[in-house]
């Protein structure tokens, strides 16, 4: 393999995630063959979907040069509103799901307005929104589980065609749509341009405030989708659902090749980042390792992901300066 092929392979985000995922899987499977059973592999994919939805939403925000720390709490609040509507107000499935999505997108819209119109940092804005939504979730639910038995969605959530839940197939479809949106539409181009160079984007006539606002709306919408899956699978809304999900989503984006400074990234890389995180979590559980050490590994992976991102940028810059010399 010549230097050009090796360099192009290294700077591909998906490669840097797929290799450790495969290694972890092989090592775990060699110790405990249960890992390679269809049922166990299916459970890994099924468990990845709620965080995956949140990560796709966060990817929009990071690509435009901002951050969203409220994803988990916004999703939780959306799920509580949906559950409350079903349990206490007697709403049917369609109104409940519309309320779920409206709540998530609405909270995202508020985040976007504060960041773009008021000018408050997205770190502060979304951190405040995280606590606001957590408070609202606990207050509205009263700290009590909100059953959605009346919606009759349990059978759908428990179904496993080909060993996978319907949500896995839905996620794959949405993943393809989001990738096409980011790579082949004007919105995707302008969003990446906004995160890549804000001043240049403004000079090119791009309404950067609108792009950022839309990114936050999408982040809230996708957060609500992840929460809706939680509610269906648990057949109830719980005010602690989604705790810490925002950090998992950010980590998945970071290790998936989304540049934390904005402007570039791979949507499929995000999906592989989600897979890596869940393979690691499942492997530790299967091998009987204290699951609490996962927090250590997550922090380590995040640091390594940032280092890899910088190294890849260095290689790309070197390629631009010196060309594709062997």
Residue entry with tokens 């709540």: 103
- The CA distances from residue 76 to 271, 287, 307, in Å, are 22, 31, 32
Q: Does the pLDDT value for residue 172 go beyond 60?
A: yes
**Local structure of 206: helix, strand or coil:** coil
Domain-by-domain residue ranges, the chain?
Answer: 3-322
3-class SS of residue 146: strand
Burial of 221 (0-12, 13-18, 19+ CB in 10 A): buried
Secondary structure, 3-state, 260-298? CCCCCCCHHHHHHHHHHHHHHHHHHHHCCCCHHHHHHHH
- Percent of the chain exceeding pLDDT 70 equals 87
Q: What are 190-222's pLDDT values in tens digits?
A: 999 998 888 888 888 999 999 999 999 999 999
The pLDDT of residue 56 is above 70: yes
For 211-238, what is the mean pLDDT?
94
As a whole number, mean pLDDT of residues 87-113 equals 95
Instruction: Work out the average pLDDT over 31-60.
Output: 90
Least confident interval from 165-169, 251-255, 312-316: 312-316
CATH number of 3-322: 1.10.3470
């Amino acid at each position: 393999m010549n230097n050009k092929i090796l360099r192009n392979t290294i700077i591909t985000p998906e490669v840097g995630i797929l290799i450790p995922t495969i290694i972890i899987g092989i090592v775990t499977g060699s110790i405990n063959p249960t890992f390679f059973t269809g049922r166990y592999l299916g459970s890994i994919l099924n468990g990845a979907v709620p965080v995956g939805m949140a990560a796709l939403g966060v990817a929009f925000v990071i690509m435009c040069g901002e951050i969203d720390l409220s994803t988990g709490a916004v999703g939780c609040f959306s799920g509580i509103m949906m559950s409350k509507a079903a349990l206490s107000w007697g709403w049917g499935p369609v109104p409940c799901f519309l309320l779920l999505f409206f709540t998530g997108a609405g909270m995202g819209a508020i985040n976007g307005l504060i960041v773009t119109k008021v000018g408050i940092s997205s770190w502060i804005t979304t951190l405040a929104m995280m606590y606001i939504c957590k408070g609202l979730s606990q207050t509205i639910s009263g700290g009590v589980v909100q059953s959605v038995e009346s919606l009759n969605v349990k059978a759908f959530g428990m179904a496993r065609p080909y060993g996978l839940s319907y949500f896995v197939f839905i996620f794959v479809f949405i993943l393809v749509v989001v990738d096409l949106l980011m790579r082949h539409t004007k919105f995707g181009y302008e969003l990446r341009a906004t995160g890549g160079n804000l001043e240049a984007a403004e000079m090119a006539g791009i309404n950067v405030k609108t792009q950022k606002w839309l990114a936050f709306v999408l982040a809230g919408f996708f957060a609500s989708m992840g929460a809706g899956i939680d509610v269906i699978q648990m057949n109830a809304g719980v005010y602690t659902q989604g705790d810490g999900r925002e950090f998992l989503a950010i980590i998945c984006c970071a290790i998936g090749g989304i540049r934390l400074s904005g402007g570039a990234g791979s949507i499929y890389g995000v999906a592989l980042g989600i897979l890596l995180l869940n393979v690691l979590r499942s492997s530790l559980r299967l091998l009987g390792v204290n699951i609490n050490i996962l927090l250590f590994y997550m922090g380590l992976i995040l640091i390594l992901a940032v280092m890899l991102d910088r190294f890849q940028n260095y290689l790309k810059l070197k390629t631009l300066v010196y060309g594709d010399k062997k």
